[in-house]
Amino acid sequence: MPKWLRDNALTVAMFGAFLVFLVLQSVFGWQTHNEELAEFGAAPTSWAAYLGSGHFMESVFENWESEFLQMGGYVLLTAYLVQRGSAESKPVGQTDRPEDDERRATADSPWPVRAGGLPLVVYRNSLSLALLLIFAGSFGGHLFGGTAEYNEQQALQSGAPPIGVWDFLGTSEFWFQSMQNWQSEFLAVGTLIVLSIFLRQHASPESKPVTAEHAHTGD
C-alpha cells in the first residue's frame, strides 16, 4: 500500500463511501422522481437535469444539515459538558487540556497559536465554527431545494402558484423534514456516549481500552 494511502486511509474510505452512496442516491432518486412525474402525466427528466432539481437538493441537504448540526453541536457540547465513564467525554473536572494553553506553543504550532489575539480566539473554536457554518450552508440548501420541490409538487397536484423561500420556511413541511433528521442524529450520539461506558471495541479510538474500568472517563 502506498504511504500516502496508508496515512490517509480513513479519510479515503469515508469520502469514497460518500461518493458511492451519493451517486446511488441520485440514481434511485431520479428513478423515483420520474415515477412520480409519470403518475401526473408529466414528461420524465434526464439524470443530469435531476441533479439540479429541488427533489435531489432537498434530499441531500436535509441530511447534510442534520449531520453537521449534530457534529458541530457535539464538538461544542463536549467542550463544556461531561459524562462520567464515557469514552466520548473529557475527564470529569477538566476544563482546557494543558496543551490548549497558548503559552505552551512551539515553533511547530499552527500560526494562529503563535500569532495570538483574534486569530487565536477564532482558531481555538475553529472546528465547531467550521462544522456549524457547513450546517448553516446545508440548512440554506435544504430551504431552497425544499422550496423548489414543494412548488413542483403543488403545481403537479393542484396547479397552485409557487411560494417563496420565506413562505416555505414557515411551513410545517420544512420543519417536519428537519426535525425527523435532527432527532435521529442526537439519538445516535447520545446512544454512543452511553454505550461507550459499558461496551468496548478493541483498537478503536472511539472506545475505551478493553481492560478499562467502566468508571474511567475519556479515552
Written as one string, the DSSP assignment of 15-44 is HHHHHHHHHHHHHHHHHHHHHHHHHTTPPP
Minimal CA–CA distance to 138: which of 185, 192, 77, 193?
185
pTM above 0.85, yes or no: yes
For the chain, what percent of residues have pLDDT higher than 70? 100
| pLDDT-based confidence at residue 100 (cuts at 50, 70, 90) | confident
List all residues 6 or more positions away from 41 whose beta carbon is below 8 Å from its beta carbon: none
**Cell numbers found for residue 62:** 436535509
At 84, which amino acid appears?
R
Q: How far apart are CA 24 and CA 17, in angstroms?
A: 11
Closest listed residue to residue 209, CA positions, set 87, 97, 94: 87
User: What does the pLDDT look like over 31-54, one tens digit per residue?
Assistant: 999 999 999 999 999 999 999 999
Average pLDDT score over residue span 64-77: 97
Q: What kind and span of H or E run contains 45? A: none
What pLDDT shows up at residue 219?
67
Domain boundaries, the chain: 1-51, 55-98+124-219
CA distances from 95 to 2, 101, 103 (A): 40, 11, 16
For every residue of 205-219, DSSP letters joined together read: TTS--TT--TT----
Chain centroid to CA 4: how far? 26
In percent, the amount of the chain with pLDDT more than 90 equals: 93
Which cell goes with 119? 486569530
pLDDT digits (tens, 9 = 90+) for 207-219: 999 999 999 998 6
